[in-house]
C-alpha cells in the first residue's frame, strides 16, 4: 500500500477534524440541525460544512471559505 506523505503543515487542525467527526456522529443519530431553519441535516456534505464552521468559530485552523467568482453585472453596449 502507498504510504502517507507527511509534508509538514496540516491544512486542517486536529480540532477541526474532531469537530467534523462530531457533526457526522450527530448527523448519523439524527440530531444535527441546520442553523437558520432548524431542519434536520441529511446531507453528508452539509454535515461536513457545519463541522468546519463550528471549528472556525472555536478558532481552529481551517482554510478560508472559497467564494465563487463574481459575474460582471455591467453590460457593454
Q: What is the pLDDT of residues 24-72, one digit of tens each?
A: 999 999 999 988 899 999 999 999 999 998 898 888 888 887 777 666 6
pTM of model > 0.85? no
Residue 31: the pLDDT is: 92
Chain position carrying cell 467527526? 21
Task: 21-28: list long-range contacts, CB under 8 Å, 24+ apart.
Answer: 21/51, 22/51, 22/54, 23/47, 23/48, 23/50, 23/51, 23/54, 24/48, 24/51
Residue 6: the pLDDT is: 65
Classify residue 8 by its DSSP letter: S
Amino acid at each position: 500500500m502507498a504510504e502517507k506523505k507527511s509534508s509538514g503543515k496540516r491544512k486542517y487542525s486536529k480540532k477541526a477534524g474532531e469537530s467534523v467527526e462530531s457533526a457526522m456522529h450527530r448527523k448519523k443519530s439524527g440530531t444535527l440541525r441546520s442553523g437558520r431553519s432548524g431542519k434536520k441535516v441529511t446531507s453528508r456534505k452539509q454535515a461536513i460544512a457545519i463541522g468546519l464552521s463550528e471549528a472556525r468559530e472555536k478558532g481552529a485552523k481551517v482554510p478560508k471559505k472559497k467564494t465563487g467568482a463574481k459575474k460582471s453585472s455591467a453590460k457593454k453596449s
